[in-house]
Amino acid sequence: MRKEKGFTLLELIVVTALIGTMLAISIPSMRNAFFTDPLKSTTRKIIGLVTGIRELAVRSQQPYLVHVSQMENRIWYEKDVEKGGKQQSATDQDGELVLPESVRITGAWAATGADVDLSQGHLVIWVSKQGFLVDTIIRIEDDDGNHLNVKFYPFLDPAIVSDEAVPF
Average pLDDT, integer, range 91-112: 79
What pLDDT is recorded for position 155? Answer: 81
What pLDDT is recorded for position 165? Answer: 75
What pLDDT is recorded for position 54? Answer: 92
Q: Where are the domains of the chain?
A: 38-162
The CA distance from 74 to 116, in Å, is 16
Higher per-residue pLDDT: 15 or 35 = 15
Region for residue 30 given its phi and psi (left: phi exceeds 0; alpha: psi -120 to 50; beta: otherwise): alpha
52 Cβ contact list (under 8 Å, min separation 6): 94
- Rounded to the nearest 5 degrees, what angle is found at the Cα of 122, between the Cα atoms of 154 and 40? 65
Per-residue pLDDT band for 161 (boundaries 50, 70, 90) equals very high
* pLDDT of 111 strictly over 70: yes
Claim: this prediction has a pTM higher than 0.75? no
CATH topology of domain 38-162: minor pseudopilin epsh fold (3.55.40)
What pLDDT is recorded for position 110? Answer: 86
Higher per-residue pLDDT: 93 or 167 = 167
pLDDT by residue (tens digit) across 68-90? 998 899 999 999 876 544 545 54
The CA distance from 117 to 123, in Å, is 6
How is the chain classified by DSSP, letter by letter?
A: -PPP-S--HHHHHHHHHHHHHHHHHHHHHHHHHHHH-HHHHHHHHHHHHHHHHHHHHHHHT--EEEEEETTTTEEEEEE---TTS---B--SGGGEEEPPTTEEEEEEEE-TTSEEEGGGTEEEEEE-TTS-B--EEEEEEETTS-EEEEEE-SS--S-EEE-S----
